[in-house]
């Protein structure tokens, strides 16, 4: 699966050799379209992993609290 994604990225990169001008707040830069697409893709993955890790950590913490609460209730009943 990873090899096919790498091949697909290579094909897209070779098909997009055009230069794109990026205007930032204080500067500007000219990069190939493939590089801009790669940077945006990597940033998207990073942001997605960060959001996922926050929600996953909250869910694990909630599961731990419910498990602790359940064990406390079952100890009281016995």
Most confident of 5-9, 13-17, 30-34, 69-73: 30-34
Whole-number percent of the chain with pLDDT over 90:
31
Q: What is the pLDDT of residues 19-43, one digit of tens each?
A: 999 998 899 999 988 888 888 888 8
The Cα–Cα gap between 66 and 73 comes to 10
How far apart, in Å, are the Cα atoms of 55 and each of 12, 60, 63, 73, 76?
Answer: 33, 9, 12, 27, 32
Say if residue 77's pLDDT is above 70.
no
Mean pLDDT over all residues of the chain? 85
Say if residue 59's pLDDT is above 90.
yes
């Amino acid at each position: 699966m990873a090899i096919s994604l790498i091949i697909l990225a290579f094909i897209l990169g070779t098909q997009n050799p055009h230069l794109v001008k990026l205007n930032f707040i204080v500067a500007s830069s000219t990069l190939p379209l493939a590089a801009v697409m790669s940077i945006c893709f990597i940033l998207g993955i990073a942001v997605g992993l960060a959001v996922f890790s926050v929600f996953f950590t909250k869910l694990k913490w909630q599961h731990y609290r419910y498990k602790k609460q359940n064990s406390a209730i079952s100890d009281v009943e016995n």
